[in-house]
Amino acid sequence: MNVVFAVKQYISKMIEDSGPGMKVLLMDKETTGIVSMVYTQSEILQKEVYLFERIDSQNREIMKHLKAICFLRPTKENVNYLIQELRRPKYSIYFIYFSNVISKSDVKSLAEADEQEVVAEVQEFYGDYIAVNPHLFSLNILGCCQGRNWDPVQLSRATQGLTALLLSLKKCPMIRYQLSSEAAKRLAECVKQVITKEYELFEFRRTEVPPLLLILDRCDDAITPLLNQWTYQAMVHELLGINNNRIDLSRVPGISKDLREVVLSAENDEFYANNMYLNFAEIGSNIKNLMEDFQKKKPKEQQKLESIADMKAFVENYPQFKKMSGTVSKHVTVVGELSRLVSERNLLEVSEVEQELACQNDHSSALQNVKRLLQSPKVTEFDAARLVMLYALHYERHSSNSLPGLMMDLRNKGVSEKYRKLVSTVVEYGGKRVRGSDLFSPKDAVAITKQFLKGLKGVENVYTQHQPFLHETLDHLIKGKLKENLYPYLGPSTLRDRPQDIIVFIIGGATYEEALTVYNLNRTTPGVRIVLGGTTVHNTKSQECGVLGFSGGAVVKNPPANAGDTGSSPGPGRSHMLRNS
Amino acid sequence: MASLDDPGEVREGFLCPLCLKDLQSFYHLQSHYEEEHSGEDGDVKGQIKSAVRSHLSDFKKHRAARIDHYVVEVNKLIIRLEKLTAFDRTNTESAKIRAIEKSVVPWVNDQDVPFCPDCGNKFSIRNRRHHCRLCGSIMCKKCMELISLPLANKLTSASKDSLSPHTSPSQSPNSVHGSRRASISSVSSVSSVLDEKDDDRIRCCTHCKDTLLKREQQIDEKEHTPDIVKLYEKLRLCMEKVDQKAPEYIRMAASLNAGETTYSLEHASDLRVEVQKVYELIDALSKKILTLDLKQDPPPHPNTLRLQRMIRYSATLFVQEKLLGLMSLPTKEQFEELKEKRKQEVERKKILERRATLESQQRLEERRSDLVSHATNGEVVSLRGGPAPLRKAEGWLPLSGGQGQIEDSDPLLQQIHNITSFIRQAKAAGRMDEVRTLQENLRQLQDEYDQQQTEKAIELSRRQAEEEDLQREQLQMLREREREREREQFQAASLHMRTRSLDFREIRPFQLEPGREPRNHLAHALDLGCSPAPSSAAPKTPSPSLALEPIRVWSGPPALGQEFFPQSTTSQHNEVPSLNPFDEEDLSSPAAEGTASPPAAEPSLGPPACVLKEYNPFEEEEEEEAVAGNPFTSPDSPAPSPFDEEDGHPHQRPSGPPVPGNPFEEAPCTNPFEVDSESGQEGEEPIEEELLLQQIDNIKAYIFDAKQCGRLDEVEVLTENLRELKHTLAKQKGGAD
């Protein structure tokens, strides 16, 4: 149940199977992203893959001394490109891998194009999703729904992505879905259909407890994506934006040339791997330790290397030192930028009120705090709109709801029409009417007591009070208590035992806060392995597209929250994205 | 050691399925697997093959159908082409040629085709019809293509070659064609202009020509290997060589640095030079690839350049990564030192083992004295007498740090304790291989200790039984008095043993289990070795917890050994037939000692040391490296390559001098210290000379590396260090000269 490993294994196998010699990797737009998430350039170079080309690029030279490894999604377009490629082959030999099921007729037309017999392999390798973390995947689908229903194209993409994931993990699951969402039901049915149709593929060794696929809809919890995050990976994603492990730092004031774009990959960066789930304060002290450690190792002018022994020690430590200095400068820059943004945008205060809005039920104090922040000049227009959105979602039906007043305040603050519109859109998307379950008021006695105790003790960390709704859902699921009337099984059979291998898919996108939840559950619950996925993991890019979809009309494509930043705010303000993350 | 790497070697034991390490026991293997491989998903490699589905057979089926059609098409054309060129066109009349041409393929009737099928123009007097000689179809002059005879020959001969690969190497078809071509070209220049006779070309339609051109392209590709491929193949060969040699070298260097004498220093430094040569070659080759065709007039396609840059980049990465991992060798002096240390270490270990043996001997002796020693094992004793003087020479108490305060009750526990402290020491000293060996020992000891209780019981029971037998049979009045005395001493113990023995009698058979024999022996030797001690105090359990006891035991052996000599001789005189089952084991015990400790290797300690004295290639290497390193220290060497500005990759910046051949040739003059380091090679050097040179060498590599990555501040620091080092070197040299 490690998605990064699963995809990497596919890619490695492709490369291995093509034998020695110079190679070119021929990909499409999506598979480029898939590969880049699991392999770094230098890693893949060592395997003699020297060129990376897009199948649709016209400017490719004939290089008969190269072997071509084609890793493509099985779309009509790609098949056509490939047919043209085979008619006039540019490389000596072709190893063709489709990332999903390809039709027999497509295979036939490809075969007929291969008059020069250059094709040595045609296979399906089911790496058809973006592996973000070992337990987190994304399909990078933006705007998956039209209104409450699926865009048919995206539905088929989501189905393909999910079935590929199941195949790559070798799971043939039972399926449960969120009853309140039509989209979830549709997707569940489509996945089931594929499993039935390709039953030979899904014949895996049976496990004692069959794996479970749970399909949820974002609209059930529109709150989580609206909150500021304080763990490292989530913050970086939210404030700077991570795109396929890359972070664009070019807008950081005074950034040095080689730090314009940095790569944060848990695979290759130990510090990142150790800290990605820690919160900001801890990262601060860890960075400090890292620095101190580094300073100790760093040769200084005054620290003369007096003896040969000193010298030798220095030289022997040098390679580590070198590696370390790269890591240090990268993380110091990133964390520095994060903390700059936090103070510039007054995020600590904003986050505190956000958490209050999300987790507590004190209407008057919440309203007061929101009003106060709306007056603050430091709070950006998007953050302001977000606060109002949270308020609107939580106190939608509250007797003394003063949303109109807040909207007025927004207007007075000069928040643009676009953002103000988001408020109503968000309510429409994730309001009470839509939600299948109650987000805000805990129903059972245990939860009420818990919250009461929490209130008494004071909260350990005001910025991380919020637990995503997913936590509760998964907790119930693991304990076998998830209600069947809310999350029914597809088909007649039900799971008797507690589930062990769980795949959760959120239509409308997952967040890094939820990824953290899953990570912690995996760690703390022995015997349970959970993989989380979403049509997207909210990031800068999804936010831009979200804006597009949004401006296109009343269609809510993503949690509108992602529609946050249109790039209108200059400089670092771009990071307004929503939780991106 | 080397045998471990034999390719055909069959290994057994508890091997990790992923890294093939032998973990000795099931539990070790399990914990190793959990620690090292838990991240790689819970399954073993073979089982995690992800789901895939191949369409290859389907694909091939469809393709085969298609290809058949295509191949037939091509072959038809080529056969016709051959017929058309099979006669001497120049010396044949037009009419006759035409007749032959028509016989090859029936021409389409003129009347049937009023328009050119390709361009659609109407045929007329001016726009005449032309026939394709290969398929007989009709086209206009504009759409007509021509196939020259050389091309035709190439196509036909190639297919002949491929069709009949069995033809004799003389290549008769080829030579025929060749001669024909020659005759044609000589005469055609005169006759071709005269009429439309087409004596050196064949008319055909565009379709046939296309097909033939494709075929030609295929033929070309088969024969042509671009330069880059040749260079690249060489490059890969070099890399493979490094992959193969570098680990070997690293193993050697590690072993040498640990003071082992498995490998000779000379050999290792030869290997180092060799590996470094290969690195240079890789550098040169990749640079050559980088600049390939750069000067050509139509500049190469950007993708070609990208490919070349990527190859160069990956070669640089390769060198960087591996070169930095290439640890340095100890100097002669250091090596001597290391060897000395190692020797002590080995001594220490040997003593440990010897002590174990002695203890077993001691136990034996005591028993013997107790039993009036009937065995004829005098020679065994004398064999074991050897080590005793050695022990005097090197007390091992001081070596083991925590010795004084050891409170462990059991010698085994004590040894475990000792070894743990050795491991700590070795770790502090950074000698990982020793740590490994020691840990190995530790593990064995622990295993033994675990077995000890059982073993002890078994052993005691056996001994007890024998004692009783022997006592009964071999009472000798002569020894009576002595025995009496001994009895007094041991009575308590033996009484105690007797009580125990009965319980364990049934377990005895285990003792004979062959696989365990050597280990058991040691274990029980140790075990019994401790039994006398309790006797002096009070009857105790086999694993007594007397704080003082160990020390007594250690000081004991020499004295006991001496004491036993006369005893054993007497026993020899007595020549009592041996019923003692221990005899066999006693004989084997020195052997066991031999295998467990490496004294066998000891004789070899001498020779290498002598060799080292006159050993010199090492210095040469150093010198070479100093030269080699130089380019890296001259930061403003002329712009090395036109790529500098072009590529965004900081790593790609070619670092060496512009000379593409050997990057290390140019530099000697840039370094003012060069002369020093060279002159320093002769004669007796101060101790640290080689080390200095090596450090210089390393630092240069780091500077090179730092520069490549553009970390200029480091370069500065490093350069500073380098200067200092060189200064020291120069000073030293001044002093020496």
The residue to which tokens 């490919």 are assigned: B307
**Mean pLDDT, chain B, as a whole number?**
62
In chain A, % helix, strand, coil (3-state, to 5) comes to 50, 15, 35
3-state secondary structure B416-479: HHHHHHHHHHHHHHCCHHHHHHHHHHHHHHHHHHHHHHHHHHHHHHHHHHHHHHHHHHCCCHHH
Q: How far is A316 from chain B (nearest CA, A)?
A: 8
Strand partners, A530: A502
For the record, the structure tokens of B453 come out as: 């209780």
Q: Which two tokens stand for residue B241?
A: 């060589």
What is the predicted pLDDT for the residue at A193? 92
How do residues B553-587 score in pLDDT, each as one tens digit? 343 344 443 444 444 433 444 444 444 444 444 44
Contact A557, A142 (CB under 8 A): yes
What would the mean pLDDT of A418-435 be, rounded to a whole number? 74
Residue A210, C-beta contacts closer than 8 angstroms, at least 6 positions apart: A172, A173, A174, A495
How many Cβ pairs closer than 8 A exist between chain A and B? 152
Tell me, yes or no, if A170 comes closer than 8 A to chain B by beta carbon: yes
Residue B518 has which token pair? 């050597």
Mean pLDDT, to the nearest integer, of A522-548? 71
Taking the C-alpha atoms of residue B405 and residue A438, their distance in angstroms, rounded to an integer, is: 68
Return the top range by mean pLDDT from A274-278, B556-560, B712-716. A274-278
| Cβ–Cβ gap A308/B724 under 8 Å | no
Quick one: DSSP state of residue B289? H
Residue B657: predicted pLDDT: 37
Closest CA to A221 of A530, A480, A471: A471
Given an 8 Å threshold on Cβ–Cβ distance, is B710 in contact with A258? Answer: yes
B474 touches chain A (CB under 8 A): no
Greater pLDDT, B256 or B513: B256
| Cβ-defined contact of B317 to A311 (cutoff 8 Å) | no
For residues B147 and B149, what is the distance between their CA atoms, to the nearest angstrom?
6
A92 vs B contacts (CB less than 8 Å): 221
Chain A CB within 8 Å of residue B268 CB: no
What is the residue whose two structure tokens read 């695979």? A267
Instruction: Identify the band that residue A336 occupies on the pLDDT scale cut at 50, 70 and 90.
Output: confident
3-state helix, strand, coil in chain B (%, to 5): 70, 5, 30
Q: Name the residue of chain B whose CA is nearest to A202's CA.
A: B51
- Check residues A38 and A430 and name the one with the higher pLDDT: A38
* Structure tokens belonging to residue A50: 């020297």
Give the closest residue to A222 by CA, choosing from A416, A432, A367.
A432
pLDDT for residue B372: 52
| pTM tops 0.80, yes or no | no
**B711 at interface of A, judged by CB pairs closer than 8 A:** yes
Amino acid at A446: V
B70 confidence band (pLDDT: 50, 70, 90)? confident
Over range A217-246, report the average pLDDT.
81
d(CA A92, CA B365): 81
Asked whether the predicted pLDDT for residue A20 surpasses 60, the reply is: yes
B702–A322 CB contact, under 8 Å: yes
Query: Are A22 and B54 in contact (CB < 8 Å)?
Result: no
More confident residue, A542 or B291: B291
pLDDT bracket for residue A194 (50, 70, 90) = very high
CA distances from A70 to A4, A35, A54, A114, A121 (A): 20, 12, 9, 14, 10
Q: What percent of chain B has pLDDT over 90?
A: 0
Give B631's contacts (C-beta < 8 A, 6+ positions apart). B637, B655, B656, B657, B663, B664, B666, B667, B670
Query: Strand A93-98 vs strand A67-72: parallel, antiparallel, or unpaired?
Result: parallel
Q: Which of A6-10, B32-36, B386-390 has the lowest mean pLDDT?
A: B386-390
Tokens 């997913």 identify what position?
Answer: A470
Measured between CA atoms, the residue of chain A closest to residue B63 is: A111
**Secondary structure, 3-state, A202-224:** CCCCCCCCCCEEEEEEHHHCCCH
| Interchain pair A299, B711: CB under 8 A | no
User: Per-residue pLDDT averaged across A473-479, rounded?
Assistant: 89
What average pLDDT does the segment B442-461 reach? 70
Q: Any idea how long chain A is?
A: 581
DSSP A21: S
Statement: residue B524 has pLDDT above 50? no
- Which residue, B56, B57, B55, is CA-closest to A103? B55
Q: At what angle do helices B56-85 and B149-163 cross, to 10 degrees?
A: 130
φ and ψ at A559, to 5 degrees?
Answer: -55, 125
**Rounded CA separation B709/B650 (Å):** 6
User: Which range is least confidently modeled, A91-105, A111-125, A336-350, B629-643?
Assistant: B629-643
Helix (H, G, I), strand (E, B) or coil at B558: helix
B710 and chain A in contact, CB less than 8 A: yes
Query: Which residues of chain A make contact with B702, given a CB cutoff of 8 A?
Result: 315, 318-319, 322
Out of B60, B66, B724, name the one closest to residue A115 (CB): B66
Task: Report the distance separating Cα A517 and Cα A221, nearest Å.
Answer: 14
B-contacting residues of A 244-303, CB under 8 Å?
258, 299-301
Side chain identity at residue B327, one-letter code: M
* pLDDT tens per residue across span A553-572: 323 333 333 333 333 333 33
Average pLDDT over every residue of A509-534: 89
pLDDT of residue A343: 84
- The two structure tokens encoding residue B236: 């890969």
B272 within 8 A of B621, measured Cβ to Cβ: yes
pLDDT at B19: 64
* CB nearest A104 (choices: B50, B58, B324): B58
Query: CA nearest B426: which of B442, B411, B409?
Result: B442
**Alpha-carbon distance B644 to B666, whole Å?**
20
Query: Is the model's pLDDT at A71 over the cut of 90?
Result: yes
Specify the pairing of strand A246-248 against strand A261-263.
Answer: antiparallel
In terms of Cα–Cα distance, which of B269, B142, B147, B296 is closest to B208?
A: B147
Whether residue B628 is predicted with pLDDT greater than 50 in this model: the reply is no
The token pair at B372 is 């009036």
- Beta carbons of B63 and A1 less than 8 Å apart: no
**In whole angstroms, how large is the CA radius of gyration of chain B?**
43
* CA distances in angstroms from A388 to A419, A539, B34, listed in the order given: 10, 21, 50
Tell me the β-bridge partners of A161.
none
- In 3D, which of A491, A23, A419 has the Cα closest to residue A213? A491
Residue type, B251: R
Per-residue confidence band for A67, with pLDDT thresholds at 50, 70 and 90:
very high
Contact B51 A201 (CB under 8 A): yes
First to last CA, chain A: 22
pLDDT attached to residue A144: 66
| Chain B CA closest to residue A527 | B42
Q: Any idea which of A84-88, A288-292, B479-483, B519-523 has the lowest mean pLDDT?
A: B519-523
Among the listed residues A198, A531, A9, the one whose alpha carbon sits nearest the alpha carbon of residue B48: A9
Going by pLDDT thresholds of 50, 70 and 90, the confidence category of residue B612 is very low
With tokens 């003896």, the residue in question is: A307
What's the whole-number mean pLDDT along residues A317-323? 65
- Kindly tell me if the per-residue pLDDT of B647 is higher than 60: no
Whether chain A has a CB inside 8 Å of the CB on B54: the answer is: yes
Q: What pLDDT is recorded for position B260?
A: 73
CA dihedral defined by A537, A540, A542, A547, rounded to 10 degrees? 150
The token duo for B50 is 């992800």
Residue B723 identity: R
Cβ–Cβ contacts within 10 Å for residue A206, how many? 8
Residue B186 pLDDT greater than 60, yes or no: no
Q: How far apart are CA B160 and CA B153, in angstroms?
A: 10
The C-alpha atoms of residue A50 and residue A67 are separated, in whole angstroms, by 10
Cα distances (angstroms) measured from residue A19 to each of A31, A49, A428, B50, B222: 21, 11, 55, 20, 19
Q: Which residues contact A322 (CB under 8 A, 6 or more apart)?
A: B702, B705, B706, B709, B711, B714
For chain B, say whether A102 makes contact (Cβ under 8 Å).
Answer: yes
B-facing residues of A in 107-136 (CB < 8 A) are: 107-108, 110-112, 114-117, 119, 121-126
Tokens of B358: 């002695």
Please tell me the distance from the alpha carbon of residue B108 to that of residue B97, in angstroms, as a whole number: 17
Residue for token pair 């989501």:
A158
- Which secondary-structure segment (H or E) carries B389? helix B387-393
pLDDT at A192: 93
Q: Mind listing the domains of chain B with CATH numbers?
A: 63-159+199-223 (3.30.40.10), 227-330 (1.20.58)
> Of A1, A112, A315, which is closest to B699 when you measure between CB atoms?
A315
pLDDT at A290: 79
A170 closest CB neighbour out of B50, B218, B325: B50
3-state secondary structure of B540: coil
CB–CB of B695 and A66 under 8 A? no
pLDDT of A62: 84
What integer pLDDT is reported at residue A268 of this predicted model? 75
Contact A112 B66 (CB under 8 A): yes
8 Å CB contact of A124 and B53 = yes
Q: Does B218 contact chain A (CB < 8 Å)? A: yes
Over range B125-151, report the average pLDDT. Answer: 84
Q: Are strands A501-507 and A212-217 parallel, antiparallel or unpaired?
A: parallel
Encoding tokens for residue A232? 């490292």
| Beta strands at A242-243 and A246-248: parallel, antiparallel or unpaired | antiparallel
CB contact B695 to A (< 8 Å): yes
Which residues in chain B touch residue A94, judged by CB atoms under 8 angstroms apart?
A: none
Token code pair at residue A374: 């709306």
Chain A nearest-CA distance from B364, in A, is 51
- In this prediction, residue A177 carries a pLDDT of 92
What is residue B632's predicted lDDT score, i.e. its pLDDT? Answer: 38
pLDDT band at A298 (very low <50, low <70, confident <90, very high): low
Chain A, nearest residue to B235 by Cα: A21
Which tens digits make up the pLDDT trace of A115-162?
A: 888 999 999 999 999 998 889 999 888 776 666 778 888 899 999 999
In B, which residues are within 8 Å of A204 by CB distance? 51
B211, B236, B314: best to mutate for the A interface, most A CBs within 10 A: B314
Contact between chains at A22 and B314 (C-beta distance less than 8 A): no
CA A57, CA A68: separation in Å to the nearest integer? 14
Torsion of CA B603, B609, B611, B615, to 10 degrees: 160
Q: Which two tokens stand for residue B284?
A: 């040169």
**Which one is predicted more confidently, B643 or A219?**
A219
Over 60: is that where the pLDDT of B170 sits? no
Say how far apart CA A19 and CA A67 lie, in whole Å: 9
Among B379, B346, B413, B311, CA closest to B602: B346
- Please choose, from the candidates A380, A373, A339, the residue with its C-alpha nearest in 3D space to the C-alpha of residue A574: A380
